[in-house]
Structure 1
Amino acid sequence: MSLADSDRELVVAELDREPTRAEAALFENLWSEHCAYRSSRPLLSAFDSEGEGVVIGPGDDAAVVALPGEDESGDGDGENATYVTLGIESHNHPSYVDPFDGAATGVGGIVRDTLSMGAYPIALADSLYFGEFDREHSKYLFEGVVEGISHYGNCIGVPTVAGSVDFHPDYEGNPLVNVACVGLTDEERLVTAEAQEPGNKLVLVGNATGRDGLGGASFASEDLAEDAETEDRPAVQVGDPYAEKLLIEANEQLVDEGLIESARDLGAAGLGGASSELVAKGGLGAEIELERVHQREPNMSALEILLAESQERMCYEVEPENVDRVCEIAERFDLGCSVIGEITEGNYVATFEGETVVDVDAEFLGEGAPMNDLPSDDPEQPETELPEVDLAEAVETVVASPNTASKRWVYRQYDHEVGVRTSVGPGDDAAIIAVREADQGLAISSGAAPNWTDAAPYEGARAVALENATNIAAKGATPLAAVDCLNGGNPEKPDVYGGFTGIVDGLAEMCETLSTPVVGGNVSLYNDSVAGPIPPTPTLAMIGAKEGYDAPPLSVESESESELVLVGDLGLERGECRLGGSEYLAQFDGSDRFPALPDEPAALIEALAAVADDDATLAVHDVSHGGLAVALAEMVTDEAGLDVSLPGDDPTGELFHEQPGRALIQTESVDAVREAFDGVAPVYELGSATGDGALAIDVGDETIATDAAEIGDLRETIERELE
């Protein structure tokens, strides 16, 4: 770890002296890209973070949103309102170096962010991105990451209910692991990360501090080197999910008894990061005695104690009269507990065995990093080069692609029913979690689309936001709020920064159009390696609300009196489909411009949610990755098939273009669907369900037919390769 010369000059000017070794390391970590957002913060003002029901927006450990319509006033912000917390984090570099521990501790970190708000975690969503599936190294990372997530989540008893998995050659040297967590709290239980009162004590609760994870924040703020898997292993934390489970329950007890004034989990930059950020938010300082920190390794230095990123630790602000009770609860749950210092009105001061090792202004430490003014190049528009492929072969290839194939191999390793709140689990368009406290269902969708944003960062990011909203509406829910994890390569490269700027603007624009505030998030840059930069990747985790917990299924029912309709564009731009960003072009090495998006996305989402909840609706499924061909295949089961006809004259474009905001609806009342979407989106009658489990697609001069067994075999690509 070393502080950059330009930053050192600023620190020396502020302190009027040279920084101590511990101070220099603390500044280096807290002023890193990972913590200070030096290259991205100037762009983030594009996001609209305010809206009805938003209780706490960006800047805390997690965002807080009130579920609508519970209190007497009907605006969702009364004393009886149920609060939902929502946060998202990345653990990209650690997951490359050590896929199991890197992914596992990513789960642990976002769960502790939830605890920091006085909330109980109820659901996880993971969005994962790897190199091409046929590469052995990609499979190694994929299997290790999934195992790490499943191990940690299953052990702590928080269900993983949603997410996504994508494969793209540009993730070969730098996979992405983005994890979101949803929690529940209310006004009385709400805690923030803002220190409240001088004289209150700082109490460290949780696992003992070791030397793991040293310099993790700075490690996450640089390109991955070729030898990262061996040289950067000490920067990866080691998780203990059983200690995390104890910490979850202890935190619940502390909150129930009203013993916590403020809280922050120990993540990036360890104790130094958590405690300094806590007091800085309150405009206060602290005095900390580092030797009081309970440690698991001998002879630890002040710098190691201050910056180690050992997991399963929380920093609490506690009133003096409540300290003993906090320690009693920690002991009851077999957790370590140290009273390490107190809140002051002065500087942030850390001592070690009587020697002052840190004495700085907390606000300068947290907010003093200068922002970067980086050059940006606009991405080039792709040329149109469409392959000539047999249509039946194209359908089989796209349906069997690892990107569009079933992800059952992944989510069957997750306990998605623990906690008995999961009404709709993984494998559907969106998950539904039962919030019985409010008699509402909470819909959760999470993911991005690397092919889309690689082809067109701005339009692709707009499409990602619309796609997540469509997933939620397909379950009959209305989008409520979102958090984002913005992943990019080295921002010092103008073309990379141009792509990153595009995904920020595109995501912000569509979320605002959908009246869905982006209430928090995370930025991960320098996802660059010897293999090159990753595609700009705007993971979005979105939640929506609906009355009750029921939702229409994704799969069709074998009903003779129903019809299957497509809502949305069959073809685009007067018959000329735009296939840019599609899995079809990815599989057959073509290129094209990205398709235009619907003209009225907000009205479309509102109408789809209403139709999904209509009694005449039997099944709903969004049309996106892989296009109509994949969506049709996903709706077929062993008991129910589909017999459909495409009414257009461009079967390739109609089957494979990936404009989001479209849905397949099995309905007993086509007229009701047409009425709901009148003036919003076109409605096409495609066909009906059958009882034989087969899929037959009439494209005019030929019929593409597959039976249930063939479809099942095509969609089991991942499972077949890994087992």
Structure 2
Amino acid sequence: MSTQSETTLPGAPVPFPGEPQVSAQLAATMGVDQSEWQRILKALGREPTYAELGVFSVMWSEHCSYKSSRIHLRKLPTKGPKVVQGPGENAGAVDIGDGYCAVFKMESHNHPSYIEPYQGAATGVGGILRDVFTMGARPVANLNSLRFGRPDHPRTPELLRGVVAGIGGYGNSIGVPTVGGEVQFDASYDGNILVNAFTVGIARSEGLFFGKAEGLGNPVIYVGSRTGRDGIHGATMASAEFDAESEKKLPTVQVGDPFREKLLLEACLEIFAKGCLVGIQDMGAAGLTSSSVEMAARAGNGLELDLDAIPRRTYGLTPYEMLLSESQERMLMVSEAGREEEVFEICRKWDLDFAVVGRVTDTGRFVCKATPGHDPLDPKSAPKSPQVVVDIPIGPLADEAPLYDRPQEAPPPVGDAGGPALGDLSGLDLARELVELVGSPNIGSRAWIWRQYDHIVRAGSVFRPGESDAAVVRVFCGKDGDPSFEGAKVKYLALSSDCNGRHVLLDPHDGAAMAVAECARNIVCSGGEPLGLTDCLNFASPQKPQTMWRFARAIEGLRDACTALGVPVVSGNVSLYNETEGRPILPTPTVAIVGQLASVEDRLRLAFASDGDLIAHLGTGSRGALGGSEFRTRKTGVVGGDPVGIDLDAEVKLQQCVLALARAHVLRSAHDLSDGGFAVALTESAIAGGRGCRVTLPGHAAIAKAARLFSEEPTRVIVSFAKEQRAEVERLCAQHGVPFEVIGEVGGDTVRIEECLEVPVAQLADAHARCLEPIVGR
């Protein structure tokens, strides 16, 4: 085994035969602007080789460097008593007791999914799974957050079908349940859909693995699928806005193999148990380049790679292609010197390709060597005689990468965006309005989607999708998650993802805060306590001052809500340039929260459970504000109106109260008010329980009934409980300073809101179930 003193230090790289001539103009086509080109020349003291330019272009892309967002992300709260691992690693982790932690992250795969929906979505799932099991955690559940264009847009059916099939195809095949998520439709996503994938896994808190290339002379080992040309410049493509040519970028989309990933997962967990690794990183965005550079940077070391040793499945791969390929199901490991055979033995068992491809050095440089004309797939190729093709200091590729404080400009208030005003609400047929709203694509049933996901594999799902505001899963903390293992500890996690871009557009700060609050409210309405948050911040071009103003305000909204609710941010992702030919998406800072139930007996459903139960409204009273609501948007065709705002102090009190009610076991159901407002939340509880209700409409009588029915103001929950529990429910609400109002009873076969509307539950359920038929049929 070679040691550091035996490592050959390279000279200046020379161009590889057949490479294009490098220039500032070529760099521009890779997303490197003039100022960055000058920085490259200064960092190297010379012009880069073609492979080096490729390395800089991907490492300095928004997707890898966060160069426009890092300065703002530093504002987020990342510490807390439950935090085991915060941002900076492959995933974050929070303590769940008995020496175990939940490891989780959310990532975007937006651009690839628009170009090739099945593979784009599938490899998004594969990538986030690897982020989690790279940390030493066994994945136990997936979520997703999806955005599509107008329901009647010609591409929406194809994109929806392809994305859902890709998510299901990958998750179902690898055996990790997809237990929940969300989907919305808006014209702003016509040319740029969003596919955000989330995974949570379980690991021992003292047994986490990190992406560090430590130990001078230690071998760097490639494990997994062989390298091809798929996905080259995927990170760069994800860091540029779409144009008329974007749909032709199919080669930048990766191709996934979930069965190979299953083998890789099991092999990695077995290798971890051997204790022979000092670091590991999955080859995700920017492939071999990012994994190598990030591991070296975290350890303060250098890395030298032998590209001739890279397992490959395609003839004639160049250094540029091997470094930038995003072929899936690949890992880069650093093992202790002398223990490589332990890794190889397990790889052989699981039928995975492997090779020693480099060494850890103390040079602080990223060095790659390759032999011109050598191809291990071609028996007639040139013999190995490697030359240096890349020699770059690690610093400029990592911590010293460009960092921009982009100009900001407050946009004019959205208001009605020049569209029609809402008009008089007094003459509306409120029953018909409710049926149409419940049956709309943004609010109705997601059963067509859920049916394509395996949400019960591993036997951990406590609720099926749609039964509760958050997904609740049972996990076994013991020998590799085996429930039959003697002494295994059973834990119950609650999972939710949320964001409403309409509210963020109207007020980025409060809209982002509302996303955090709703996500956490979903957790407590299911009986769980929120522990930690991951985000996926989807915005348009950072080079537009109005986008950066919205981004900065949204970060502050996330910060304020997370701080108030005590939910630290432990991981996340930023996806910028989500626009097509200058048309931006709604600002969509998606969040996902992991919570924990103290006991499975604390779990709460959203369904009305028993006739005669009382129904109560908890939380702030409605002002009838319709800004950003689904009702208003459907009526006017534009996102408009005054922002509804959020009172975080009141939100904290409400969530603490609902959690106390869940733990006191005095509620039969709990459901938060969000999309569609009071009338829709009431209807969803009725449909889920298959029984009606009779209630009075809360709020001041001077406010229009339609406004009180359909306002999406936050900090409100509908609960039901047995009559004999009324005193205790009222006592706990008073103890927490939460407004409490009994508004009616469960029973009958209609949803009846006094002096407003009465509609059969069966009619509402039918409209709810058929909501996606105009897009995908029956």
For 1:322-401, list aligned pairs within 5 A: 322-346=339-363, 347-353=365-371, 354-383=386-415, 385-389=421-425, 390=428, 391-401=430-440
Aligned to 2:680: 630
Aligned to 2:635: 588
1:124 maps to which of 142, 146, 166: 142
Is 2:620–2:650's contact at 8 Å kept on the other side of the alignment? no
Aligned to 1:76: none
Counterpart Cα distance in 1 of 2:541 and 2:547? 7
Give the CA RMSD over aligned residues: 1.5
The answer as to 2:517 corresponding to 1:472 is no
| One-letter code aligned to 1:288 | L
1:615 maps to which of 655, 661, 665: 665
Q: What is the CA distance between 1:416 and its match in structure 2?
A: 0.7
**1:265-319, Cα deviation, whole Å (9 max, x unpaired):** 0011110111111111100011110010100001111111111000000101111
The answer as to 2:125 corresponding to 1:107 is yes
Could you say what secondary structure the match of 2:458 adopts?
Answer: coil
Aligned to 2:577: 526
Counterpart Cα distance in 2 of 1:445 and 1:96? 24
Could you say what secondary structure the match of 1:419 adopts?
Answer: helix
Aligned to 2:51: 22
**What is the percentage of aligned positions where both structures have the same residue?**
37
Counterpart Cα distance in 1 of 2:547 and 2:43? 33
Could you say what secondary structure the match of 1:436 adopts?
Answer: strand
2:719 maps to which of 649, 665, 668: 665
Could you say what secondary structure the match of 1:17 adopts?
Answer: coil
The answer as to 2:362 corresponding to 1:311 is no
Counterpart Cα distance in 1 of 2:217 and 2:200? 33
Counterpart Cα distance in 2 of 1:538 and 1:98? 23
Counterpart Cα distance in 2 of 1:673 and 1:464? 27
The answer as to 2:435 corresponding to 1:423 is no
2:609 maps to which of 544, 557, 560: 557
Could you say what secondary structure the match of 1:540 adopts?
Answer: strand
| One-letter code aligned to 1:462 | A
Q: What is the CA distance between 1:694 and its match in structure 2?
A: 2.2
Aligned to 2:217: 199
Counterpart Cα distance in 1 of 2:342 and 2:152? 55
Counterpart Cα distance in 2 of 1:40 and 1:674? 45
Tell me: CA distance 1:13–1:452, structure 2 relative to 1, closer, same or farther (3 Å): same
| One-letter code aligned to 2:247 | E
Is 1:564–1:689's contact at 8 Å kept on the other side of the alignment? yes
Could you say what secondary structure the match of 1:199 adopts?
Answer: coil
For 1:107-256, list aligned pairs within 5 A: 107-230=125-248, 232-256=249-273
Counterpart Cα distance in 1 of 2:424 and 2:329? 55
For 1:436-447, list aligned pairs within 5 A: 436-437=476-477, 438-447=489-498
| One-letter code aligned to 1:21 | Y
Could you say what secondary structure the match of 2:527 adopts?
Answer: coil
Q: Compare 503-512 and 665-674 and name the one that shifted more.
A: 665-674
Could you say what secondary structure the match of 1:274 adopts?
Answer: helix
The answer as to 2:711 corresponding to 1:711 is no
| One-letter code aligned to 2:192 | N
Aligned to 2:731: 675
Aligned to 1:74: none
**1:150-174, Cα deviation, whole Å (9 max, x unpaired):** 0000001111112110111101010
Is 1:624–1:631's contact at 8 Å kept on the other side of the alignment? yes
Counterpart Cα distance in 1 of 2:690 and 2:674? 24
Could you say what secondary structure the match of 1:161 adopts?
Answer: strand
Could you say what secondary structure the match of 1:368 adopts?
Answer: coil
Could you say what secondary structure the match of 2:145 adopts?
Answer: strand
Could you say what secondary structure the match of 2:348 adopts?
Answer: helix
Structure 1 residue ranges without an equivalent (≥5): 71-79
Could you say what secondary structure the match of 1:315 adopts?
Answer: strand
| One-letter code aligned to 1:63 | G
Q: What is the CA distance between 1:374 and its match in structure 2?
A: 1.7
Aligned to 1:73: none
| One-letter code aligned to 1:388 | D
The answer as to 2:293 corresponding to 1:276 is yes
Counterpart Cα distance in 2 of 1:505 and 1:118? 32
Could you say what secondary structure the match of 2:106 adopts?
Answer: strand
Could you say what secondary structure the match of 1:254 adopts?
Answer: helix
2:308 maps to which of 254, 272, 291: 291
**1:412-464, Cα deviation, whole Å (9 max, x unpaired):** 21101111111123223101111333433111001211221122211111111
TM-score normalised by structure 2 residue count = 0.88
Counterpart Cα distance in 2 of 1:214 and 1:694? 56
Counterpart Cα distance in 1 of 2:635 and 2:515? 23
Is 2:77–2:563's contact at 8 Å kept on the other side of the alignment? yes
Aligned to 2:599: 548
Instruction: Figure out how many residues of one structure are paired with residues of the other and give that number.
Output: 702
| One-letter code aligned to 2:609 | E
Q: What is the CA distance between 1:719 and its match in structure 2?
A: 4.2
Counterpart Cα distance in 1 of 2:446 and 2:409? 36
| One-letter code aligned to 2:87 | P
Aligned to 1:75: none
Could you say what secondary structure the match of 2:141 adopts?
Answer: strand
Aligned to 1:435: 475
| One-letter code aligned to 1:593 | D
**1:354-399, Cα deviation, whole Å (9 max, x unpaired):** 1101111223212222212322122433447433351223212221
Q: What is the CA distance between 1:325 and its match in structure 2?
A: 1.6
Is 2:409–2:548's contact at 8 Å kept on the other side of the alignment? yes
Counterpart Cα distance in 2 of 1:274 and 1:138? 35
Counterpart Cα distance in 2 of 1:645 and 1:164? 30
Is 1:570–1:654's contact at 8 Å kept on the other side of the alignment? no
Could you say what secondary structure the match of 1:677 adopts?
Answer: helix
| One-letter code aligned to 1:66 | D
Q: What is the CA distance between 1:246 and its match in structure 2?
A: 0.7
Is 2:622–2:713's contact at 8 Å kept on the other side of the alignment? no
**1:90-131, Cα deviation, whole Å (9 max, x unpaired):** 001001100110000000000000121111111111000011
TM-score normalised by structure 1 residue count = 0.95
Aligned to 1:414: 453
Q: What is the CA distance between 1:531 and its match in structure 2?
A: 6.5
Could you say what secondary structure the match of 2:351 adopts?
Answer: coil
The answer as to 2:34 corresponding to 1:12 is no
Q: What is the CA distance between 1:670 and its match in structure 2?
A: 2.5
Is 1:695–1:706's contact at 8 Å kept on the other side of the alignment? yes
| Rg comparison, structure with higher value | 2
Counterpart Cα distance in 1 of 2:604 and 2:84? 31
| One-letter code aligned to 2:39 | L
Is 2:512–2:555's contact at 8 Å kept on the other side of the alignment? yes
The answer as to 2:749 corresponding to 1:693 is yes
Is 2:102–2:200's contact at 8 Å kept on the other side of the alignment? yes
Counterpart Cα distance in 2 of 1:329 and 1:521? 32
Q: Compare 108-117 and 630-639 and name the one that shifted more.
A: 630-639
Is 2:406–2:542's contact at 8 Å kept on the other side of the alignment? yes
Counterpart Cα distance in 1 of 2:490 and 2:312? 45
